[in-house]
Structure 1
Amino acid sequence: MANQSAKRITQENAARLAILSKLLLGINGFYLFVRIVLQYKSLTWSEAIMYLGSAALEVFLYTNLHHVSRPRYDPGGVLIDSGTDLSQPGLVSYMFDYIYISWFVHLLSLATRWAWSLYLAIPVYLGYMLFPYIRQFLGSSLGQQGGKPEEKASEEDAAKEKKRKEKKERKQQRVKYSR
């Protein structure tokens, strides 16, 4: 009963990595076969460099996922740590997303050269996710530098505070009935 969750995570990670490695080899092997054997004359240096760069990043992310999800055992063979759960959200899911986008771009690039521009979706998404934090940072620093917006906000806050005090005083002056 002990460590059932850790054993389940270890098994799920192993199964997910096995599928990922087969797809990684299969899709990249198919791409290289088609590109080198069937479409060799249309292969350019820029496409070769883009493929090598994206494939190198794919392999790096795969080995990183493999490393962080590796379980640790003590000398007696008892499971100490199941490794990182590969189904968790966050950085791990972003690694999988990049690998999936790369596979899609590699397969689509066999039909059109414009497929490589789909990699622009990654920095656009990153900007979309970071925009609220950047806006908050810039808004707070701009609010401190510009005197007028801050003065206007403080005047509004003072007026609201005055209304609250007046309302509180009126409530205190009411006659209270008891039974």
Structure 2
Amino acid sequence: MAQKAAKQLAAKNTTTLNRTHLISLANNVLFLFLRLIIFRKAYNRNTLTLYVLLTAPAWAIEFWLEKIGRPQYVENGELRKSGEDLDAKGLTEFMWDILYWTWACIAAAALVGNGAWWMYAVVPVYSAWMASTMILNMKKGMTGMTGQGNSGGDGGEGSGDSKRQKKLEKRGGQKVQYR
């Protein structure tokens, strides 16, 4: 069977995107139904403004995931492009996190009210924390490359030798030469 992996990815992407659209539709209809019809007394002008403003990133992300993940077929039903992997690490994973968190905020705002939109403030805090840990880890890695500080071994200052290299040198083995 030709392109088995591509066909599996296409089927998985189609299922994931269809499920995503259904959950999003249900969540948004629930919000509009509860806020505009059931809790009509609690409705004010800010409700709809906050809803549109704070769900816009989720709509944009959902549109982007649809664009990159939806498989494309030629006229005879043959797979032309399977789409990007929607389970990829990095930015795609972060976009799914934003989408899930927005859905949670929509559901909470539908049930509790406009005060639940403050949950969305977690996103920039989380982003800042992730960026700071990434920068600190990069900084640690760079100090090892430049020879600054001790590399964590028992040896001399800034020697950078691994434990195995030190053992070999103690036994009189070959000394590793650096250029």
Question: Are 2:18 and 1:18 equivalent residues in the alignment?
Answer: yes
2:128 counterpart residue number: 127
- Which AA in structure 2 matches 1:63? F
Bigger-Rg structure (1/2): 1
Instruction: Calculate the TM-score normalised by the size of structure 1.
Output: 0.70
In the aligned structure 2, how far is the partner of 1:26 from the partner of 1:157? Answer: 59
In the aligned structure 2, how far is the partner of 1:35 from the partner of 1:51? Answer: 10
Closer, same or farther: CA 125–42 of 1 in aligned 2, 3 Å: same
Closer, same or farther: CA 26–74 of 1 in aligned 2, 3 Å: closer
CA RMSD of aligned residues (A): 3.2
Q: How does 1:85-164 map to 2 (within 5 A)?
A: 85-109=85-109, 110-135=111-136, 156-157=157-158
Closer, same or farther: CA 93–133 of 1 in aligned 2, 3 Å: closer
2:46 counterpart residue number: 46
How far residue 14 of structure 1 moved from its aligned partner, in angstroms, is 1.0
In the aligned structure 2, how far is the partner of 1:157 from the partner of 1:96? Answer: 42
- Which AA in structure 1 matches 2:36? I
- Which AA in structure 2 matches 1:56? A
Identify which range, 85-94 or 102-111, moves more after superposition.
Answer: 85-94
What SS does the aligned partner of 1:80 have? strand
Question: Are 2:60 and 1:60 equivalent residues in the alignment?
Answer: yes
In the aligned structure 1, how far is the partner of 2:76 from the partner of 2:33? Answer: 46
In the aligned structure 1, how far is the partner of 2:101 from the partner of 2:87? Answer: 18
What SS does the aligned partner of 2:5 have? helix
Runs (5+) with no aligned partner, structure 2? 151-156, 162-168, 174-179
Runs (5+) with no aligned partner, structure 1? 144-149, 161-167, 173-179
In the aligned structure 2, how far is the partner of 1:59 from the partner of 1:132? Answer: 29
Q: What is the number of residues matched between the two proteins?
A: 158
In the aligned structure 2, how far is the partner of 1:4 from the partner of 1:73? Answer: 15
- Which AA in structure 1 matches 2:32? L
